[in-house]
Structure 1
Amino acid sequence: VLHSSLGLDLAGWQRLWSNRLPALLGNTLSLAVLVAAGCFVLGVSAAWWVSRREFPGRRLAIWLMVMPLTIPTYVFAHIYTVLLDESGWLGRLWLTWFGSPPPDLFNIAGTTFILTLAGFSYVFLLVQDALSRSQQDLEEAARIQGATPGQVFWRINLPLLRPAIAAGLAVVVLHVLSDFGAVSMLRYQTFTLSIYLQMNGRFDFNAAAGLSLVLVSLSLTFLVLERFFRNRQRYYGSGQGRRIQPRRATRFETAMIWFWLGLIALFAVFLPVAWMLAWSREAWLDDLIDAEFWGYVRNSMTVSIAAASITIVAALPVALYHARQRSLLSQSFLHASSVGFVLPGPVIALGILAFVLANLPFLYGSLVVLVLAMVVRFLPLAIHAQESAAQQLTPSIEHAARSLGAGPWESLRRVTLPMIRGGIVSAWVLVFIDTLKELPATLILRPTGFDTLPVR
């Protein structure tokens, strides 16, 4: 990106600024803020109820809140544009009930709706993991001092959840900045869509590189600000404290919980899944689900499992280093590793392809190149999830292990890794799912004849 953007002269930058950049900045930042707000409300509220109340169907509710991650944003966009069309059954239902045309998704409100449904599960997963590891000591102390349940939530719980919430929202914002599928289908002009149009419509690679450079700068600025405001907000949990057990919900609470979670699941899971099942039934009747189809499933699983496993191993040193040593070097590693997530898939793929052809030509056309691109692209997901877990692990436990004679590797294996196991599992799941549904990079880098489910 840097090399190609150098080919853009001053007149080219002036044209970009006068014609494209102000509108793109406004559209992209507005969309990121609105989606982050929506994901905060949905993710934190859902995580709180499933973590602090025991109610019938609780395990099912957890799965329902995670399932939207398996649906690509472009599939969400396609499903709801079909359903809300005047000829779609949801559009006809809207006309019957309200007597007016159904909502238009081809604007910022529609794009926010789609990306919020597709992204709130990132916040849910990380906050739910943090809540499952929270301890009773501080809440009991607050209640002894006379704090009401509402005061305990706003003054104790929410500040302690700040690392998990910040990590989840950072992932959401980076996803919005790099999303191509939904914004292209809904024709909402953001940086990623404009970069694609410059590359494939006008074949102006220098202008595309210039826009990519602005996008990377914007994303790194967001990460620096996010880290600055979170830098002094640190809380360490004791490894021996009592974990909070969910309280049995009353009948009224159960009804309210299922009303809220059911409403989220209706739009984020049930309607899309029902549409996909109907689509799959037509494919089955047309004999399209055959041995070739299961070959696509096997290919997708192979790439996703390999990429997720390699990514969590590569992310662990960066996450632990930054969680323990807040220095300029650790922040540089963190920000440098985030670049892959903020660039559109085609730009990442072309960059990896250029590197391989220049330095490792014998790998060209192999599965290794595709897996490498996935690791670069989704490394920030694993780092944020594991760092969020490591930030709540008190260093005194690791120091105690060292004082008892355990070496660094033994302390890591027997103390640190078991205590952040939830964050590691969350990181693996997030990378696996995102790799499973990645389309642009797969189209460019897949070996000949190697098709995955998104490609087909």
Structure 2
Amino acid sequence: MKRRINHDGPLFSLFALIAGLAIIVPLLFILRHLFEPSTDAWRHIRQIWLLAYIRNTSVMIFWTAFGTALIGTYAAVLTTRYTFFGVRVLSWMLVLPLAVPAYIAGYVYADMLSYTGTVTRFLRLVSLPQLLQPMTMAGAVFIFVFTLYPYVYLFVRAALKRQSAAYAESALTLGVGPFRAFFLVVLPLLRPALIGGVFLVVLETLNDYGLVAYFNIRVFSFAIFNAWFSFGEVVTAIRLSAVLLIMVFVILVLERVLRGHRRYTVHVKGRVIAARPLRGLARVVHPFCLWLILGFGFLFPTMQLMHYAVLTWRNTLNMTLFYNFMNTLTIALGSTALIVVIALMLANFGRFRPKGWKRAWLKATTLGYAIPGAVIAIAVNLFFITVDRQLYPLYRWLNPASPVLVLSMSLGMLVFAYILRFMAIGYNSIEAGYDKLGETFTEAAYTLNHRKLSTLLKIDVPLLKSSLFAAAVIVFIDVVKELPLTLILRPANYDTLASRIYEYASDEMIQDTGVASLILIMMSALLIYALSGPKKRGRSAHVRPY
């Protein structure tokens, strides 16, 4: 009789329990404070500003989603279905805008298009009017589109590379033209990938604070920070967070409805569509458009930052910047290591067809990425303050002169928030690796009575090196770029590159952001190249958020 193998080791179950509680308990603190008495500030916002926040946030995410879907799909189709000069270089370089945080691009474009900016001075030199106003809703959408489209590009490109040629060829055989075949056959098959990429774009847009604050766009992230820092209104900030969470929940439900339970592929190994060369004027126009997209998202801001760095490096390249860099590097490496380890435990816990409570619990542990950073920051802050108050007798027993707030003033709170927010990225990258790996090797080790942890370290980890590397790279980049969590939860006198750049911009010292911004962007760009460059074709930058 076949012996039943117990896949759930106690260590993996314990990690899953702790990770789930870590995301659920802080959010419960928001619910607990939600029913406190209303304040004058909340009544004022509800009567005058709340509808404006909802309208502005909805408009911003709609046009950003539309623009990224259009540009990301266009770039993916051109780089997978056609050949032209430079296509191999462009295919990975089009991911580089992910290295440029939207707030840095916003600072740069606002300065370039100001009265004394580079673009405006050039237009005056050639006697042309400057009609562009970047610090508007349209300007913010423009920047979001060109810095976030790689999410859609990566998802759609991966789907196109797996798509069989039989579908389009069948349509052409039935007399459908190439243009109609794309919209009637190819595009519907791309629907899950397209929705997945757009969903990530929407979440990143909702999470942004640096750009919307600098452009003074009244959306929810701006309102939450304003209530928390400017007015000291905890109840108002919590209620705004609750409204934003409702919007996120609606988006989650909409994403599930749009994806549905349909299948868009068949489980056969079909021949992929062969890329064909562009002809005529298209050989010039389409590559030019792709380089222009890359220029708006990466090349133009980076070149302008190089100009700033040349002007200001004598004043900004100092020990303070070195400390900011070391803070960024150490906290990003530490947070990334913790996230990857916990995600590996979670993925191992849920890899053998989780059902019922196990599947629901794993969904809860990866919910953090869907929650904007400002909301997570408030939840974590309230949670740690409550924990500190409960532990205060212990603090006094250990040190009679101990302050009340110990954990709340430490770096641990910020690291905890990073883990909460970015766990989904690490988990889903590793889960994708497990899907490719299968269960055969692990089952064989369990059959030979190997322990669960020993099997994980000696068999799974070596086979998952590419997935672990991808998870670490993407988590590291997101932690380095993260601004809302860092601004709210960092200890006193603790600055990262992101917070230093924000402070320079807040003081209207845009040119002084040059060196710090270049360091941040180059760190991210080098890791993106290591992950998706031409020498790493075996590794995928595809991340499944949900």
- TM-score for both structures, normalised by structure 2: 0.69
The one-letter amino acid of 1:183's match is V
% identical aligned pairs: 28
Q: What is the identity, as a one-letter code, of the residue corresponding to 1:62?
A: S
Q: Aligned in 2, Cα 1:348/1:114: closer, same or farther, shift over 3 Å?
A: same
Match of 1:190 among 200, 219, 228: 219
**Greater mean deviation of Cα atoms: 322-331 or 175-184:** 322-331
Q: Is the 8 A contact 1:122 1:168 kept in 2?
A: yes
How is 1:48-197 mapped onto 2 (pairs within 5 angstroms)?
48-95=77-124, 99-197=128-226
Q: How many residues align?
A: 448
Match of 1:33 in 2: 62
Matches of 2:234 and 2:109, distance apart in 1: 33
Q: How much has 1:183 moved relative to structure 2?
A: 0.6
Aligned AA for 2:476? F
CA contact (8 A) 1:86 1:102 kept: no
The answer on whether the counterparts of 1:198 and 1:208 sit within 8 Å (CA) in structure 2 is yes
Contact 1:68–1:121, Cα closer than 8 Å, also in 2: yes
| Matched residue, 2:416 | 372
**Contact (CA 8 Å) 2:384, 2:407: kept in 1 or not?**
yes
In the alignment, which residue of structure 2 is the partner of 1:301? 329
What amino acid sits opposite 1:374 in the alignment? Y
Deviation at 1:210, TM superposition (A): 0.5
Query: SS of the residue aligned with 1:454?
Result: helix
Which residue is equivalent to 2:234?
205
Shift of 1:241: 4.2
* Whole-angstrom CA distance in 1 between matches of 2:44 and 2:361: 32
1:435 maps to 2:451: no
CA contact 2:167–2:186 (8 Å) conserved in 1: no
Q: Distance in 2 between matches of 1:27 and 1:386?
A: 36
Root mean square deviation, CA, Å: 4.1
C-alpha contact (below 8 Å) 2:365/2:423 kept by paired residues = no
Bigger shift: residues 319-328 or 214-223? 319-328
Correspondent of 1:270 among 295, 299, 311: 299
Q: How far apart are the structure 2 equivalents of 1:332 and 1:217? A: 20
CA shift at 1:374, angstroms? 1.4
Name whichever of 142-151 and 85-94 sits farther off. 142-151
Farther off after superposition, 116-125 or 97-106: 97-106
Report which stretch shifted further, 304-313 or 270-279.
304-313
Corresponding residue number in structure 1 for 2:523: none
Whether 1:45 aligns to 2:74 is yes
Which whole-Å deviations, capped at 9, do the CAs of 1:309-339 have from their partners, x for residues lacking one?
5445656757996997797984685477435
Determine the C-alpha separation between the residues in 2 that align with 1:318 and 1:14. 45
Paired with 1:206 and 1:96, the residues of 2 have a C-alpha distance of 53
In 1: Cα distance, 2:357 partner to 2:137 partner: 37
C-alpha distance after superposition, 1:33-73 (max 9, x if no partner): 01111111111111221222233322331343222212222
- Is the CA contact (8 Å cut-off) linking 2:84 and 2:287 kept in structure 1? no
Q: Assess, with a 3 A threshold, how the Cα gap between structure 1 residues 42 and 309 changes in structure 2: closer, same or farther.
A: farther
Runs (5+) with no aligned partner, structure 1 = none
Distance 1:376 1:237, change over 3 A: farther
Tell which deviates more after alignment, 444-453 or 159-168.
Answer: 444-453
- CA shift at 1:433, angstroms? 2.1
Structure 2 unaligned regions, length at least 5:
1-29, 392-405, 501-546
Q: TM-score, normalised by structure 1?
A: 0.82
Q: CA deviation at 1:79?
A: 0.8
Q: Distance in 1 between matches of 2:411 and 2:39?
A: 40
> After superposition, what is the alpha-carbon deviation per residue over 1:125-174, rounded to whole angstroms, capped at 9, x for unaligned?
22223333333343444444444322332233222222221111111111
Instruction: Find the counterpart in structure 1 of residue 317 from structure 2.
Output: 289
Counterpart check, 1:452 vs 2:496: yes
Distance 1:36 1:312, change over 3 A: farther
User: For 1:384 and 1:45, how far apart are their aligned partners in 2?
Assistant: 26
Looking at structure 1, the residues matched to 496 and 170 of structure 2 have their Cα atoms a distance apart, in angstroms, of: 53
Query: Are the structure 2 counterparts of residues 11 and 454 from structure 1 closer, same or farther at C-alpha, using a change threshold of 3 Å?
Result: closer
**CA deviation string 1:240-293 (max 9, x = no partner):** 444445334446443223211112122212220111101122233x16335664
Alpha-carbon distance, 1:434 to partner: 2.0
Q: 1:407-430: per-residue Cα shift (whole Å, max 9, x none)? A: 79999x999x989968x7665544
Further displaced range: 166-175 or 286-295: 286-295
Displacement of 1:7 in angstroms is: 1.4
SS at the partner of 2:115? coil
Moved more, 201-210 or 445-454: 445-454
Q: Is 191-200 or 311-320 further displaced after alignment?
A: 311-320
- Aligned pair in 2 of structure 1 residues 63, 449: CA closer, same or farther (>3 Å)? farther
Letter in 2 for 1:165: L
Deviates more, 1:373-382 or 1:5-14: 5-14
Aligned position for 2:377? 349
CA distance in 2, matches of 1:185, 1:137: 50
Aligned-partner SS, 1:455: helix
Given that 1:167 and 1:385 are in contact with CA atoms closer than 8 Å, whether structure 2 keeps it comes out as no
Once residues 261 and 5 of structure 1 are traced to their aligned partners in structure 2, the CA distance between those partners, rounded to angstroms, is 47
Give the counterpart letter for 1:91 in structure 2.
Answer: T
CA contact (8 A) 1:312 1:427 kept: yes
Deviation of residue 191 (structure 1)?
0.8
Alpha-carbon separation, structure 1, partners of 2:180 and 2:96: 32
Letter in 2 for 1:432: F
Letter in 2 for 1:112: V
Asked if 1 retains the 8 angstrom alpha-carbon contact of 2:209 and 2:222, the reply is yes
